[in-house]
Structure 1
């Protein structure tokens, strides 16, 4: 496939001049994939297929709407529900009844929870959970483990010396615009390091009221560690929040914590819950969730109808079709076939992550360059690809066959380039970014 006359790449260069940062999400920036060449924009999407501005057709074996579309793009059941809701009026002076139905549904799935508040996005869901937990605890400081969005409470971590957030997920997140008075209010600890968490409690216990942590990101949960954190939270009267925006609806319908016999005080859900339509939820124990009423928490578009009906339709498909089991099976097949290709070609590509989200780790100190070359060559073969694959139901056996054929060709090319030391010479543009960087 020719990458010349790429209208999307041209529009992206224009966008960077009038939209600071180019777009609204770091993970969709062209520079995170293939600078100067990534098509960047789409006209239409269905299943795991995407058509760009020039009507080029691709199979999406990359981020699938950054993990939101587990059922595939424009899933008919969800789309029909959304279209019906829009045609019936998606915003009025009265509330939509579906928000009560969705609240009841989430509480039925998470039997430990007794209250629900809804949002539209992940970052604001985390901020809302923190606000409620602080309101309940009456304390200022938050300890956390993982990635939890863009709001002041989180970026305040980097007001202290050093890039403390780089060990959580993203390097280079400057706290520009975050009030200096928030310094030392957000305290990071690493997954598996219980001694570090104990030190935080010892040093900040009098004003530490909240702990937020991801259940997992790059692999199966470290349950011994999570149980230890929970026990210490209970001992010290600290509100424990599980951020399951990414991990929810991957291992099971609902939060992954349901599989491991552990209950948080609050859980944050989003992403795959609406299959690409904006919806977020903060669920929790009644006595803690009721603290939301002591603080002003209110937003017009949290009452809009589409997210609620999309979530209800999505949950119905998840339950009726055992979606999570299918995602695991599809992911296992992909991992197996990719591993076999790499073993046959003697290419040291490591594949980690839970089965439904394979993550590719390219070898050598030239890993970022290899990743860029991989994306470039897969794109030429009609596949959107990066170092992560969010598996969806739309990744059928036939689509996987096409992907593996392209993958085999490209890994063979990468192996030759590595042996002949000509990786950079094969690149047709700059190396991709690895984290947050200013674009212009």
Structure 2
């Protein structure tokens, strides 16, 4: 039987560079020649492909954008009202002011807000504002912060600079060479790295990092970063595009008792609708008026309406509490089942973005086999799970029953080295990685 999703993906690769717009959704990272690739409908945690097959999403949930589940009715209603009443106009929509007030009520240390529609745009705006406020060019960074020139320029100095933050060997082709040595990496939980940078460089205008990712920060790491930023007059930026709205309503940074100068939000804030926010201290954010930051579709109404509806529902339902609980339940299940089958497994990540990795030289074959067998059982599955409100106890229990069956198959393949007999297509490619 022809898989129409595979057929369409093969066509897409011929007319769209890379096949699509986002590395993290490329089929070769999930299950080459078998992944359904395209959807007709998504609701809750259910996804229907081009052949009307229904799958339960126990993977990346729209790259972490949909913590309320796909096509949430309350968010949809707000978006539909925004469209019905005009999503674009000569005048500004009032919702952008309401959303700013809501964000500043949540992040009380902040004073002003700007908006964008994507994470990459938002980080670039934050970097522009920081450079403008400090009149310094260089950036110290930790973790993943997008595709733009300011970030990828790090690999002009060495194509290994982003190896521990994104992917190994990325080619900075097309990035102006004059940006060499303007973006300087340091490793998470290693304050010595950052101290070494500021010892050598006296032009650091911003320090940007994810406050938490795969591991909690050491007891004083974030406080030391905050202290260094203050001492050298750099703007401290917390990129919470991924961590925001999952551990609490707002930024995860407050859990660790450290406030930044600028925080960046995106992804889950709009439950699948494009919206990004750059929130910061008033004296820093006002600098945005002295440089040029402007774009037509940053004024479009749907993102603001979706953001308001999403945050309101998060507050009412205490959504982060559920995301944490579901993630812990899934992680415990992976670990317990792996122990039963003598599989060496590493788990990592904040609970709402829990991750496992087979600890074996054949880990990619093992992961491919896992993805394949879970797909056959009706699951979109990988080694990541972004949890959402529809990942109930019953859903997780049923998922873990399938995992138990599949881990048994993987363990047998490992013991007998019979991957080639069991795999029905190519092995997955190494994908996007974030280590902090």
TM-score computed with the length of structure 2 as normaliser: 0.97
Q: CA deviation at 1:173?
A: 2.0
RMSD between aligned residues:
1.1
Please, which of 79, 84, 87 is the counterpart of residue 87 of structure 1?
A: 84
Please, which of 349, 352, 357 is the counterpart of residue 348 of structure 2?
A: 352
Q: What are the within-5 Å matches in structure 2 for residues 175-194 of structure 1?
A: 175-194=172-191
Q: CA deviation at 1:223?
A: 4.5
Is the 1:85–1:309 contact (alpha carbons within 8 Å) kept by the matching residues of 2? yes
Structure 2 residue matching 1:164: 3-state secondary structure: coil
1:211 aligns with 2:207: yes
Question: CA deviation digits over 1:169-200, x for unaligned, max 9?
Answer: 32232111100110000000001111111111
Is the 2:136–2:204 contact (alpha carbons within 8 Å) kept by the matching residues of 1? yes
Q: CA deviation at 1:249?
A: 0.7
Partner of 2:230: 234
Partner of 1:251: 247
Please, which of 267, 289, 300 is the counterpart of residue 271 of structure 1?
A: 267
Is the 1:62–1:388 contact (alpha carbons within 8 Å) kept by the matching residues of 2? yes
Partner of 2:125: 128
Question: CA deviation digits over 1:373-422, x for unaligned, max 9?
Answer: 11011101110011100000111222222211211110000000000011
Partner of 1:391: 387
Partner of 1:17: 14
Give me the whole-angstrom Cα distance separating, in 2, the residues matched to 1:223 and 1:324: 23
Partner of 1:289: 285
Give me the whole-angstrom Cα distance separating, in 1, the residues matched to 2:145 and 2:420: 35
Is the 2:343–2:358 contact (alpha carbons within 8 Å) kept by the matching residues of 1? no
Is the 1:172–1:435 contact (alpha carbons within 8 Å) kept by the matching residues of 2? no
Relative to structure 1, the CA distance from residue 188 to residue 120 in structure 2 (aligned partners, 3 Å threshold; closer, same or farther) is same
Please, which of 290, 296, 301 is the counterpart of residue 297 of structure 2?
A: 301
Give me the whole-angstrom Cα distance separating, in 2, the residues matched to 1:109 and 1:210: 24
Q: What are the within-5 Å matches in structure 2 for residues 37-56 of structure 1?
A: 37-56=34-53
1:365 aligns with 2:361: yes
Is the 2:263–2:280 contact (alpha carbons within 8 Å) kept by the matching residues of 1? yes
Give me the whole-angstrom Cα distance separating, in 1, the residues matched to 2:221 and 2:44: 38
1:146 aligns with 2:143: yes
Give me the whole-angstrom Cα distance separating, in 1, the residues matched to 2:304 and 2:169: 35
Which stretch shows the higher mean deviation, 259-268 or 37-46? 259-268
Please, which of 116, 120, 126 is the counterpart of residue 119 of structure 1?
A: 116
Give me the whole-angstrom Cα distance separating, in 2, the residues matched to 1:162 and 1:170: 10
Partner of 1:415: 411
Unaligned runs of 5+ in 2: none
Structure 2 residue matching 1:358: 3-state secondary structure: strand
Structure 1 residue matching 2:163: 3-state secondary structure: helix
TM-score computed with the length of structure 1 as normaliser: 0.96
Give me the whole-angstrom Cα distance separating, in 2, the residues matched to 1:424 and 1:181: 48
Structure 1 residue matching 2:209: 3-state secondary structure: strand
Give me the whole-angstrom Cα distance separating, in 1, the residues matched to 2:71 and 2:159: 43
Please, which of 313, 318, 322 is the counterpart of residue 314 of structure 2?
A: 318
Partner of 2:323: 327
Partner of 2:158: 161
1:341 aligns with 2:337: yes
Give me the whole-angstrom Cα distance separating, in 2, the residues matched to 1:409 and 1:56: 21
Count, aligned residues: 432
Is the 2:189–2:217 contact (alpha carbons within 8 Å) kept by the matching residues of 1? no
Question: CA deviation digits over 1:210-238, x for unaligned, max 9?
Answer: 11011111122334111111101101111
Is the 1:171–1:435 contact (alpha carbons within 8 Å) kept by the matching residues of 2? no
Give me the whole-angstrom Cα distance separating, in 2, the residues matched to 1:270 and 1:427: 37
Give me the whole-angstrom Cα distance separating, in 1, the residues matched to 2:71 and 2:216: 29
Structure 2 residue matching 1:65: 3-state secondary structure: helix
Partner of 1:99: 96
Relative to structure 1, the CA distance from residue 76 to residue 355 in structure 2 (aligned partners, 3 Å threshold; closer, same or farther) is same
Poorly superposed stretches of 4+, deviation over 4 Å: none
Give me the whole-angstrom Cα distance separating, in 2, the residues matched to 1:162 and 1:277: 34
Q: What are the within-5 Å matches in structure 2 for residues 59-78 of structure 1?
A: 59-78=56-75
Is the 2:159–2:170 contact (alpha carbons within 8 Å) kept by the matching residues of 1? no
Give me the whole-angstrom Cα distance separating, in 1, the residues matched to 2:220 and 2:4: 50
Partner of 1:405: 401
Give me the whole-angstrom Cα distance separating, in 2, the residues matched to 1:402 and 1:263: 40
Question: CA deviation digits over 1:319-340, x for unaligned, max 9?
Answer: 1111111111111222222222
1:30 aligns with 2:27: yes
